[in-house]
Amino acid sequence: MRIGIIGAGNIGQALARLAVASGHQATLSNSRGPETLHDLAAEIGCHVALATDVPSSSDMVVLTVPLTAAFDLPPHLLDNRVVIDTNNYYPDRDGRIDALDRHETTTSQMIANHFQGATIVKAFNAILAKDLLDPAVLPNDVMRALPIAGDDDAAKAIVAALQADFGYDTVDAGLLADSWRFERAKPAYCIPLSRDGLIFALAAAKRDEELPEGSWRR
């Protein structure tokens, strides 16, 4: 699969490495231009491109830029693509967003509203970049499970297959409207969990309750 990655931060780099190691073709992009990524791409074994050129050369796109930066991208850029949205809402970084603070929407619903021609699947937002590259070992070598959410079952199946390629089980948390259950500071956020543990954590999430900031960093 040709996987285009818009955003070359820690998560983007980690997913590019996993993609290449799993036999996929990866293309990285960032806001500063491909010339700034050549050394990194040579190390990873991936391609580089302008962010605006990534969708046309990709079967799937990973959107992994800061939340508010996503809305600076052209709304039709991701048309007709399955898009993995890794975004999380960090008020200290993103500023206060009233609709999120009032629990009227989710980050991925906002992304889907901006990129209305794309099929959005929330994934890879509930794992630390360092854990992608150095996976936590669960008791009895049980596979770690990661949550996904989306409104299109076929797209979710594609993302679940990719997560399996990367060595992860998948728990479907529901629609994009349900993706708050594994957003920042919820019990399923960045905590290494088995399938059963993740199902329990998703069910335990409460919309107006957050874990202490940073408690998920080990």
Domain boundaries, the chain: 66-204
- Let me know if 58 is exposed, middle or buried by CB neighbors in 10 A (0-12, 13-18, 19+): buried
Nearest to 180 by CA among 119, 117, 115, 126: 126
pLDDT tens for each residue of 165-184: 999 999 999 999 999 999 99
Closest residue by Cα to residue 194 from 150, 160, 143, 155: 143
Residue that is written with structure tokens 């920042």 in the block: 184
Global pTM value? 0.95
Whole-number percent of the chain with pLDDT over 70: 100
> What's the pLDDT tens digit per position in 108-123?
999 999 999 999 999 9
Superfamily of domain covering 66-204: NAD(P)-binding Rossmann-like Domain (3.40.50.720)
Mean pLDDT, range 30-47, rounded to an integer: 95
How high is the pLDDT of residue 218? 61
Determine the longest span between alpha carbons in the chain, in angstroms. 46
